[in-house]
Amino acid sequence: MTRSFLARVATVVALTLGLASCYIPDNFHSELRLSRFGDWAVTFDGDLIYAPIMHDYAEGKITADNEEEKNQNIYKDLVRDPAIKAIQRIGKGRFNIKYERMGRLGKVQLSALLRRDARLLALKSAEDGTITIAGNGVRPGDAQRMTELGIGMRGEFRITTDGNVLRHNANEVRPFGQYRVYIWKVENAFSPSPILVMQREDDPQRPLEEK
C-alpha cells in the first residue's frame, strides 16, 4: 500500500468526519411512514460504515492486536441504541443493521436517525406547521474521493405519507390508496440528498405539545 494511497484515504476520512454523521449508509433500504398529523415510523435495513476507523486503517494503527477491540467499540456504540433490532459484524468498520423507530413530532422538534450526533436523516417540525425530512448530504469533493476509494453509498429511501407535500426531490412518486409514496434511488455519494417538506394538519383528538 503506497504512501500516496494512504494520504488519499486520510484526506477523505478527514472530510467525511465533517459530515453530520460518522456513519455512511450502503446497500440499504429505508422507509419513513409519516402521517399528516406528524406521527412517524422509520425503518432501515442495510450496512453502516464507520468512517473514523478508516483513518486508523490507512495510518496502520489497526493491527492484529487491536483490530478486534476497535471494531468491538463501534459495535458497542451501535447496540446501545434500542432502535437497532439486529446487528451483524461484516468487518473493517462495516455493520449490517435492522433499525426500527417511531414517534410523534411536537410543535417544534428535531428527531434523527440514528441520533443527533450520528445523523443520517433529520425530521424537523417548525412553528409554521411545516415538517421537513432531510437526508444527510455529502459535498461533491467528498463524494469524488469516496468514489475513488471504493466507498459505496447505494440504496433506496421511501417516504409514505397522506400529508400535503409542498416540495420534494424524489426520483419517483407512486399513488398508494389515500397515500403517496416518494422514492429516492441513491446510486452513489453524488446522488442528491433526499428532502421533503410537508404541511402538517391539526389532529383534533391529539393536540400538539410543545417540545
* β-sheet bridge partners, residue 195: 134
Contacts of 62 (CB under 8 A, 6+ apart): 53, 56, 70
Which long-range CB contacts under 8 A does 126-131 form with residues at least 24 apart? 129/199, 129/200, 130/166, 130/197, 130/198, 130/199, 130/200, 131/34, 131/38, 131/105, 131/163, 131/197, 131/198, 131/199, 131/200
133 and 34 in contact (C-beta within 8 Å)? yes
The whole-angstrom separation of Cα 189 and Cα 185 is: 11
The whole-angstrom separation of Cα 121 and Cα 32 is: 10
The whole-angstrom separation of Cα 4 and Cα 16 is: 18
Per-residue pLDDT of the chain (211 residues; tens, 9 = 90+): 444 433 443 334 333 333 445 888 999 999 999 999 999 999 999 999 887 787 777 778 888 999 999 999 999 999 999 999 999 999 888 999 999 999 999 999 999 988 777 788 999 999 999 999 999 876 666 666 666 656 678 999 999 999 999 999 999 999 999 999 999 999 987 788 999 999 999 887 777 765 4
pLDDT computed for residue 142 by the predictor = 67
3-state secondary structure of 140: helix
The whole-angstrom separation of Cα 178 and Cα 109 is: 26
pTM across the whole model: 0.82
